[in-house]
Structure 1
Amino acid sequence: MIERYLLRYFLAVVEHGNFTRAAESCNVTQPTLSVGIARLEESVGQRLFHRSNRRVDLTPTGAQFAEHARRIEAQFNLAEEAMKQHRPDAIVRLGVLSTLPTAIVAAMAEALAELDGIRTEFVEGRASELIDRLDAARIDLAVTMEPQGRHREQFEPVASEGYALALPAAHPLAQRQSIAAQELADNVMLVRRHCELLAATSQHFTARGVRPFFAARSRSDDRILALVAAGVGVTVMPDCFSAPGVARVPMEDFAHVRTLGLLVRKEGAVPEACVERVRGVLRAGIGGIWHQQ
């Protein structure tokens, strides 16, 4: 059986008419190429070249063999190209914090879709759930809050932001620079059940004697924002959330901040191009403090 590299040596000599230049084009030494040509001639049982000091020419048999060699090499190239087109894409399992705005997650999806050969699987969860999935190798990259414990050293902080009230745009206090909790005593509240600051928010209002009526409890930030815009009530959300008909106003004496960033399951688990795209979208979507790498 004639091996493919021998056909490449042969076609290189045909193209260059010289063993030295042919060897250079094949990235081998001239003796290696000469041995290969001799092995090829031994396999076909015929001399393929007339050798002289100045040039190497095809014999009649060599000219006939060259026609077949070109067709075979062309078919090899076509087969390789076809296999590349059908090669399965690499899958990156991206864990995203459930309290990230939909617009930011959508922007990440759009940025990652631009990368050839990579498909993204999105997995939503709370910060603790994303850590568990990283440990179990069920996700490769997490966009999450700064963790405590052993994962803190591997965490790459990207941006930090605060929390503020979300009020209907027509709310009497919507134009204020800040609002005290006591001023919302008679307001209807909406509860974000998945909020990482749910307990701290409840304590903040309770400590100031505010015990409002809760009109809705939901794990969907999009639904909460729609209810705020509709005038149903007010809530507390991270600064990155916005929507038409919703005003964002800081709350007095509520200085909580969250730091968002990246956790990779292990070094090399995610192509750097993916990490760069996710990092860039997160930094652009969070309008607070940026962290340098």
Structure 2
Amino acid sequence: MMDRYHLRYFLAVVDTGNFSRAAAACNVSQPTLSVGIARLEEALGRVLFHRTNRRVALTDAGAGLLAHARAIEAGFAAAERDVSNASVVSVLRIGVLTTIPPHWIERWLAAWPGERVELVEGNERELRGRLARGRIDVALTILRDGDDRAAGQHLLTEGYALAIGATHPLAERPVLRAEELAHEPMIVRRHCEMLSETSRFFVAHGVRPPFPARTTNDERALAYVRARLGITVMPASFRAPGVARVALEGFDAMREIGLVFAGHNAPSLPLINALGEAVRG
């Protein structure tokens, strides 16, 4: 027999990418989670995951179960909310990608006349997992090619550029080539969705700079840049006093920012309009 906790374990493995992180997300031990997955596979008579030392991947049977599991879990979560919050003030739970500029959210909150909100920050994988489990109602995040656009809303497309201290000798240049940065210290934004692509770009141009700082906080990254500890690559929307934005020749990466709605939550036109105005400024 298939129980709800079996599906939650299954979704946690899909969303986190391995059994140990999935166990931590479910607050159980890894052996407990592994036994739960084994029982689910036994109940279905199919293997759901290809397991190797490095990664876990869905089998065809697992891929077939995924949409059903997400719908079932979203239904459970919606039922729980309807019962437990019947007499409670409605709260809109919004997931915010960690690389979203804070002034977008500040501008939106200052103008939002709608219901109470609860903000939850996370990376792409975390926000998608919370959406699938009904833990948030909508996510302000990056839209990907495989997304169901009927369940999302495009807000903005933007590129990336160098962030350089305003007093740096290179700050007045409109465009810089990668080779010109060979000896420039660089700040590593460890949470950046384009970190791997950025690294490959510089390596391809023979640039292997020193890294005086690594951070997962964009305000701190901007402070390091402003103090001329180093330079970094950031989405074009990040602006700050004392920081110049300079184009990086040949680096054409773009990101599409939008709203992704949970299966239990219908798109809210006022929310879309308000966030769209805040994002586009």
**Normalising to structure 2: TM-score of the pair?**
0.66
**Is the alpha carbon distance of 1:232 and 1:220 closer, same or farther for their aligned partners in structure 2, counting shifts above 3 Å?**
same
Within the candidate set 246, 251, 260, 1:249 is matched to 246
Q: Is the 8 A contact 2:139 2:261 kept in 1?
A: yes
Structure 1 CA distance, aligned partners of 2:118 and 2:232?
31
Aligned to 1:91: 91
| 8 A Cα contact 1:145 1:261, kept in partner | yes
Of residues 182, 187, 211, the one that matches 1:185 is 182
Shift of 1:279: 2.3
Q: Distance in 1 between matches of 2:99 and 2:223?
A: 16
Q: 1:171 to 1:143 in 2, by over 3 A?
A: same
Work out the CA distance in 2 between the residues paired with 1:137 and 1:246: 39
Query: 118, 137, 140: which is aligned to 1:140?
Result: 137
Q: Is the 8 A contact 2:132 2:263 kept in 1?
A: no
Counterparts of 1:270 and 1:157, CA distance in 2: 12
Cα 1:88–1:252 shift into 2, 3 Å: same
Match for 2:123: what amino acid? Answer: R
- The answer for the alignment partner of 1:111 in structure 2 is 111
Deviations 1:145-184 (A, max 9, x none): 1124354552211110000000010111111110001101
Match of 2:168 among 138, 162, 171: 171
Distance of 2:238 and 2:219 partners within structure 1: 9
Shift of 1:267: 6.6
User: Which residue number in structure 2 is paired with residue 205 of structure 1?
Assistant: 202
Shift of 1:270: 5.9
Q: Map 1:33-52 onto structure 2 (within 5 A).
A: none
Cα distance in 1 between the residues matched to 2:265 and 2:133: 17
Partner of 2:19: none
Query: How far does residue 268 in structure 1 lie from its aligned partner after superposition?
Result: 4.9
Q: Quick check: which has more Rg, 1 or 2?
A: 1
Residue type matched to 2:172 in 1? Q
User: CA RMSD for the aligned pairs?
Assistant: 1.7
Structure 2 spans left out of the alignment, 5+ residues: 1-86
SS in 1 for 2:119: strand
Matched residues, percent identical?
Answer: 43
Is 1:272 the counterpart of 2:266? The answer is no
Contact 2:153 2:272 in 1 (8 A): no
One-letter amino acid matched to 1:108? W
1:159 aligns with 2:156: yes
Specify the SS of the correspondent of 2:255: strand
Matching residue of 1:219? 216
Letter in 2 for 1:131: R
Decide whether the 8 Å contact of 1:140 with 1:270 is kept in 2.
no
Give TM-score, length-normalised by structure 1: 0.63
From the superposition, tell whether residues 200 and 91 of structure 1 become closer, same or farther in structure 2 (CA, over 3 Å).
same
Partners of 2:166 and 2:274 in 1: CA distance:
34
Letter of the structure 1 residue corresponding to residue 238 of structure 2: F
> 2:235 is aligned with what amino acid?
P
Aligned residues: 195
In 2, are the aligned partners of 1:180 and 1:251 still within 8 Å (CA)? yes
- In the TM superposition, 1:45-84 aligns within 5 A as none
Instruction: Quote the Cα distance in structure 1 between the aligned partners of 2:139 and 2:214.
Output: 26
Q: Is the 8 A contact 2:137 2:265 kept in 1?
A: no
